[in-house]
Chain A
Amino acid sequence: MATIDFHPLYLSLKIAVIASVVVFILGVFLGRVFARREFFGKSVLEAFFLLPLVLPPTVVGFGLLIIFGKNGWIGRWLLEWFHYQVVFTWIGAVIASIVVAFPLMYQSALGAFRQYDYRLENAARTMGASEWRVFWTISFPLAWPSLLSGLVLTFARALGEFGATLMLAGYLPGKTDTIPLAIYFAVESGHSEKVTFWVLVIVAIGFSGILWLNQWNRRKNKQFQSDSLEG
């Protein structure tokens, strides 16, 4: 156990946290807009958002390579203007996690903003509330339990992301070696002790995240049920 390098844990958590923050903000914004507004081309855009959910991660990774590679339209621009390359960096792993985890957060946010009566927002507007105030005092608190579920799923998905990350960031020990990649390459090289360790770590993180969420939801439900008026 003394030979275990903890870099994959640090890197995976860093990538998952950054990706979750970006995906949460994007998902909440787009989920709110798409839950409330109708416009031309909405279905096509929604299908595009959800595409990473149904495609093999390797296909998503290949698509990202095309976009962020040296000759890709963003990759070339980044190289020319900032002399920066995303491929084979931990930023590439963040981008892969964002793209793969986004549909989960978007779906949760869409459901969250559709589940309560939109007239509550209208009631706030009639009392002089700005759109900003309506969002922060009505929409967000009412959607929060579902948004939190989405956030936990997003974090777990980002933490476990493998296929697209391997395609875009590769496996460079000490640089892009996330836990899932470390497990794969430890299996390949026959380091069973390492494999067991990282498998236990990732199971523990995933399990405690879900356990905490369930407990939180149960506490919340219990409070509402016991307070409800009977009859």
Chain B
Amino acid sequence: MLKVAIKKRLKQFTLDVTFKMDDEIVVLFGPSGSGKTTILNALAGLVRPDEGEIVRDQEVLFQNKKVFLPTKKRNVGYLFQDYALFPHMTVEKNITYGVPKRTMPEFLQQWIQITGIQHLMKKYPNQISGGEKQRAALVRALAPQPRLLLLDEPFSALDSTNRLRCQDELQFIHRKWRVPIILVTHDEGEAIKLADRILYIEKGKIIKNKVKPKMKSQGL
């Protein structure tokens, strides 16, 4: 169970959101600049909220001015909007960066098989396509076995075929590995397809919290 109640003053408005989630896919949906990425950054510990708290199971990640767990200790997987693959490392080195001793455990080899990127291991990010980058970045985010997965517009740079494939892969991964996922998008179709719950965000506030239990697609 993840409980989030945070406030942060931004330039245009004050971000003020409260929500709870289980091991489900929650989609943050709303226009650009509404504070969605700031919520992800606050959960990852890259931004410090002004007040509130973030609690995952019994673990306090943030609590007012008392607790601020640094990013490296939060065990959060984060897929950045433009993937943020390390350009000077091969795909393999990128993927194993967060794995102790930089090994390739069996579960990771499975994800590599599932996402079909095994032939890219020795390539550098500038040698692979957008869809391949997206899949490599997703596997990299999963590699440290995070207890919370944050995805910032992960499919926005992909063409429609790749987007559908990656969405299906994400649902498959979620079914296999019940980890809470928070996904940011401003594609309503994507939100409806992937979400167990959609939080509609506008100017830093949740204006609608919609549970969509029957909307999950059949996946792969």
Contact = CB atoms under 8 A, between A and B. Distances in A.
Given A229-B126, A229-B127, A126 B86 contact: no
A223 to B, nearest CB: 10
Interface residues of B, number: 29
Contacts of A124: 86, 97
Interface in B160-204: none
B71 A126 contact: yes
Interface of A: 116-117, 119-120, 122-130, 137-138, 141-142, 224, 227-229
> Is the contact region of chain B dominated by helix, strand, or loop, or is it mixed?
loop
B72 A129 contact: yes
Contacts of A129: 72, 97-98
B127 A122 contact: no
Counting chain B CB atoms within 10 Å of each CB, the highest count among A116, A119, A228 belongs to A119
Contacts of B78: 122-123, 126
Classify the interface of chain A: helix, strand, loop or mixed: helix
B86 A138 contact: yes
Given A119-B80, A123-B80, A129-B72, A229 B46 contact: no
B126 A127 contact: no
A128 B126 contact: no
Q: Which of A122, A128, A129 has the most CB of B within 10 A?
A: A128
Given A122-B84, A130-B72, 12 more contacts: A117-B82, A119-B84, A123-B86, A125-B72, A126-B71, A126-B72, A126-B74, A126-B76, A127-B97, A128-B144, A227-B124, A228-B126
Contacts of B87: 116, 120, 142
Contacts of B144: 127-128
B72, B77, B124 pick with most chain A CB within 10 angstroms: B72
Contacts of A119: 80, 82, 84
